[in-house]
Amino acid sequence: MLRGVIQCLHLNLDQMATTPLPRCSPPHVMVMSPVFFHYTITLRSYKLQKSMSSLKVREGEADFNVTGADKPCKTWYKVYGTLPHPHNPPLVVLHGGPGSSHEYLDILSELTRLFDVPVIVYDQLGNGRSTHLPEKNGDVDFWTVQLFVDELHNLLNHLNIHDNYNLLGQSWGGMLASEFATRQPKGLGKLVIADSPASAPLWVKAVNELRKELPREVQDVLDKHEAADTTTDPEYIAAINEFHKRHMCRLDPMPQSLLDGLAWMEKDPTVHSTMIGPNEFYITGSLRTWSVVDRLHNIQATTLLINGRYDEAQDIVVEPFFQRIPKVRWVQFADSAHVPQLEETERFMQVVWAFLRG
């Protein structure tokens, strides 16, 4: 793995916003310095700003005409801040899974609170507060990447922002965002791909390398239940959780917002089981052969790549983005796994804001 050869570049974030990043050796990895720029000098001032600022929030639903669905469908969304905004394009946020929901990304409303960036989160079809279609469980012809690309276009049109917006996709959301960006959609300004693979086979390779670092007894439990096809057994779930403590989120306890987002995959497993399968170690669903690698050169938007040092999205799965997207930067968070927006919130907001305003 590349983790052992990470080069730390201690950069001022104002410089990051205005200066093209050098392709250093290794060319794609930065660990941001703990020096904080003038927006939030200390954690105390950061919390004070949060408590003193007011935040405009509204929720809504966008009608979504879905071919093959036997009922009306809606996409639920939430808007933080003023829309339209006189200066800052909105940041549309795509959650992971597939099959999770938006809750663990509500923290990105800090970009609104601190920097007046409108932020839009939404639950993708089949997830959270959007329309559920359990009758489509196992229908790989229905649950396609194109379905979610169409849903995103529909939401942008509903909100009347398709002429000027930025995207941030996390995990599966970054896979979806990269697919979307390869089609060179109108209005896309900047793109953030966070904790995401450029290829499902690369993802499987990376997480199985991490799996080898688990205690032997945990690996034995995983092997036993996968061989017996008993991956819903509580013993197996407990072993998966041991992996997640190391490579999904290193906070203890895990934030409630993350647990809430993941809980939807148990409440309605339709999307996750159809597109992924039992878990990330062996993808059996419709995404098992997915790759965007050969189309990344089509992305015209300036792109920021993010992952954590301990991330499930190891360097090997992120590197194709860096090598093939023409205008790209890569920031790695030294103390994070798969959710740096929760594990290193203050630094995450600074990095994203510096990129968006640059």
Residues forming the active site: 171, 311, 338
Q: Where are the alpha helices (DSSP H) in the chain?
A: 13-18, 43-52, 110-115, 145-158, 172-182, 200-211, 216-228, 234-247, 256-267, 270-275, 315-324, 340-343, 345-357
* Torsion sign, CA atoms 350, 317, 261, 335: negative
**β 73-80/119-122 pair status:** antiparallel
In whole angstroms, what is the distance from residue 211 CA to residue 221 CA?
12
Cα(320)–Cα(316) distance, integer angstroms: 8
Q: Between 234-247 and 216-228, two packed helices, what is the crossing angle to 10 degrees?
A: 130
What is the DSSP pairing of strand 57-64 with strand 73-80? Answer: antiparallel
Is the backbone of residue 258 left (phi > 0), alpha (psi -120 to 50) or beta? alpha
Taking alpha carbons only, the member of 120, 117, 127 closest to residue 268 is 127
Rounded Cα distance between 355 and 154, Å, is: 26
Sequence-separated (6 or more) residues with CB below 8 Å from residue 280: 203, 204, 207, 312
Residues linked to residue 315 through DSSP beta bridges, in sequence order = none
Rounded-to-integer distance, Cα 238 and Cα 282, Å: 17
Burial class (CB in 10 A: 0-12, 13-18, 19+), 253: exposed
Secondary element (H or E) of residue 168: strand 165-170
Distance CA 193, CA 175 (A): 8
